[in-house]
Chains A and B, each alone.
Chain A
Amino acid sequence: MNTHNITHPEAATEFLKNKERVQWHDETLWFVRHKRDKIVNEIPEWEQLRELASQIKDHTLSRLDEYLQEFEAAAISNGVTVHWASDAAEHNRIVHNILAKHGAQKIVKSKSMLTEECHLNEYLETQGIEVVDTDLGERIVQLNKEMPSHIVLPAIHIKKEEVGEIFHQHLGTEKGASDPLYLALAAREHLRQKFLAADIAITGVNFAVAETGAIVVCTNEGNADLGAHLAKVHIACMGIEKLIPRTEHLSVFLRLLARNATGQNITAYSSHFRKPAEGSEMHIVIVDNGRTTQLGREAFRNSLKCIRCGACLNTCPVYRRSGGHSYHNATAGPIGAILAPNLDMRKNADLPFASTLCGSCTDVCPVKIDIHNQLYQWRQVLTQEGYVPAAKTASMKVMAGVLSSPARYSFAGKWARKFLRWFPGLAMNKKLNPWARQRELPEPPKESFREWYKKNSREL
């Protein structure tokens, strides 16, 4: 479950112990990235679409208060009940109150990263209410008592043989069975019962349209529709950043989302919910939970443009080799690493450093979030606010002092090279020097370039 006492490097080191699994995890996600590359290259105007999406989101964020009010008014006139939650706790209480009002015990929920962020399931469990996640991947991790390890592929860290074992324990499938079709049919049978019996359906929201008050939910399994249409009450939970001004803007975002996420032209279902059916109720819970703080941080504001496609996870060479759980946050990967410190700097101070700043996340982002620059900026903020170890600060100060003075620099460089030549054993001590665990050090040359240049420049 939540492993917030373990830092990213520690969790990653543990994950990397199983080389075969890491290779499989890396190749599986790279396959998704590759599939994405193929399909986006079929759209000649792909880069224009990204730019357009980025501008629409920038614009929306610049007038978020107005669009939120427009959305609320439209939703209310559609007969929807709108709730506002300032944080995760309030969100959970609001959802619980709706459930309690209806005496609901059987709840189905389609995928929602927001409810993961708010730990809604755990909260409702403490209130004696069981929530069944109906997205197949989410159901797998739920049965396995884990958090999703990926935004759109929640069970990507679990192999089909392990799914077979989980289903054998919980759904009574044959022991040792790992045929994906057999397992999927068993899950379908199991989930159908839950859908038919559900009192209330909870869904996430991919897009909320300000002008109409409608919400759009994208799934491949149709589980949001099944839930929302079968239950008498539909609760949709959304962060304030899900807004887009007009319906026509969906024509930009729906073209980007599935292509960039999984290499599909579009998700199997893009379901529009506008008003409750007769005799039913529809609620929308609009959640802040730190988003207005992020909106106020200029350097990090545009992280709120994220449409949760997960492409930055698939492309991230660090994520692929450390696994989603190493990020100890509901949203993993590069986007998680720039969102998490906003929620809790102390707990997530390690995450912006879990990157080489290679920039692949920024180039793959469908709404042009400058993810790697924000990772760099978070490092500065975390350092300034005192969330890095004192020893690191001390060594950086020494380093800055040495490297800014030509005399001190030349002196230190000369002695560093001598030290490496004289005490190779000490320099290569694997405990003292993490570099040396799997790598040799460069062979120290007798003279530096500047020493060589002084001797030779006249002849050049």
Chain B
Amino acid sequence: MRVALFIPCYVDQFYPKVAIATLKLLQHLGLPVEYPMQQTCCGQPMANGGFEHLTGSCNSNFIKAFTGYDYIVSPSGSCVLHVKDHLHDHKQEDAATAVRSRVYELCEFLTDVVKVDSIKASFPRKVALHQGCHGQRGLRLASSSEVVASPFSKPVQLLKMVAGLELVDLDRPDECCGFGGTFCVTEEAVSSAMGLSRIDDYTKHAATVVTGTDVSCLMHQEGLIKRKKLPLEVMHISEVLVSGL
């Protein structure tokens, strides 16, 4: 089994600690992980901005970087959803299809492929979980509150394995935080208002740590938290899952 680590461009540049935590977690579980150096960006920033027609060279580069691996694993629900929904290349559509079918968000890879049933991590803190919308409603990492179905959540399933971790209940467990790619600057006022609502929900329930499946959502919320100097620590779920290992 060959597992490739797909690290979103902004995580590579600004949150290497999240990439390192993801790598360590997968290695801790005994998986042979490689980081293909050819990778850059999945093309989502352009595509969601209405410029999918400019993502051709990103797509072919992505396919080149990840072809040949059995699994492509990423600590980002949003980027994985983009690849699954929009990675195409008319010159090599078979290769594109293979990549699309092999890409996994970290949590779903752990629960569905590796079928992890215990993690030795320990994290004795009160944690609020922000389920990124693209992971939740796009990849169905968790049931959404709009749909009538038995509730489930792959990130919660993993967090419950961490010793000492107390997950707080939120008033609105799956409200969007307002990041939304270019939305965070083009609709700055709404974006910030949405983020602040989320943060109010965390503090109201006495969480001291916010975690999530997408660094983009967390980067936006961390920006708001730091500006307000709130006593809330922001960590990606991979960082929580390697705590104390």
Contacts and interface: CB of A to CB of B under 8 A. Distances in A.
Interface of A: 8-9, 12-13, 16, 22, 26, 30, 37, 40-41, 43-44, 46-47, 315, 317-318, 321-322, 352-360, 362-364, 376, 379-380, 382-384, 388, 392-393, 396-397, 399-401, 403-406, 409, 413, 416-417, 433-435, 437-442, 444-445, 447-454, 457, 460
A380 B237 CA distance: 33
A321 B193 contact: yes
Question: Interface size bucket, B side?
Answer: 35 or more
Interface string B183-213: 1111111111111110000000000000000
A37 B149 CA distance: 12
A356 B192 contact: no
Contact of B197 (A26, A360, A393, A440): A26
Contacts of A356: 133, 176, 178-181, 183, 191, 194
A457 B20 CA distance: 11
Contact of B53 (A359, A380, A437, A454): A380
Closest 6 CB pairs of A and B: A439-B223, A356-B180, A379-B50, A383-B50, A404-B57, A358-B176
B50 A399 contact: no
Nearest to B224: A439
Contacts of B61: 404-406
Contact of A450 (B12, B27, B192): B12
Contact of A400 (B57, B194, B222): B57
Given A16-B193, A40-B148, A46-B148, A403 B40 contact: yes
Contacts of A37: 145-146
Given A404-B58, A450-B35, A445 B16 contact: yes
Given A356-B179, A358-B137, A434-B188, 17 more contacts: A9-B186, A9-B188, A9-B189, A16-B193, A356-B183, A360-B133, A397-B54, A409-B41, A435-B184, A438-B227, A439-B195, A439-B224, A441-B223, A442-B14, A448-B16, A451-B16, A454-B37
Contacts of A441: 223
Given A360-B146, A363-B146, A353 B186 contact: yes
A136 to B, nearest CB: 28
A309 B28 CA distance: 50
Interface of B: 7, 9, 11-17, 19-20, 23, 27, 35, 37-41, 43, 45-55, 57-58, 60-61, 133-134, 137-138, 144-149, 172, 174-176, 178-197, 219-220, 222-224, 226-227
Contact of A396 (B46, B188, B223): B46
> Which of B61, B147, B187, B224 is the most central at the interface, judged by chain A CB atoms within 10 Å of its CB?
B187
Nearest to A420: B14
B9 to A, nearest CB: 6
Say whether chain B's binding surface is mostly helix, strand, loop, or mixed.
helix
B185 to A, nearest CB: 4
Nearest to A401: B57
Contacts of A396: 46, 49, 51, 54
23 contacts: A16-B193, A41-B148, A318-B194, A321-B197, A322-B190, A356-B183, A357-B48, A357-B181, A358-B176, A379-B50, A380-B51, A383-B53, A388-B50, A400-B58, A401-B57, A404-B58, A404-B61, A433-B185, A435-B184, A435-B185, A442-B219, A448-B12, A449-B19
B45 A403 contact: yes
A413 B12 contact: yes
Contacts of A359: 133-134, 137-138, 144
Nearest to B197: A26
A338 to B, nearest CB: 14
A453 B146 contact: no
B155 to A, nearest CB: 17
B16 A400 contact: no
B58 A9 contact: no
Contact of B20 (A40, A363, A413, A449): A449
A388 B49 CA distance: 10
Contact of B190 (A318, A401, A453): A318
A52 B15 CA distance: 45
A460 B25 CA distance: 12
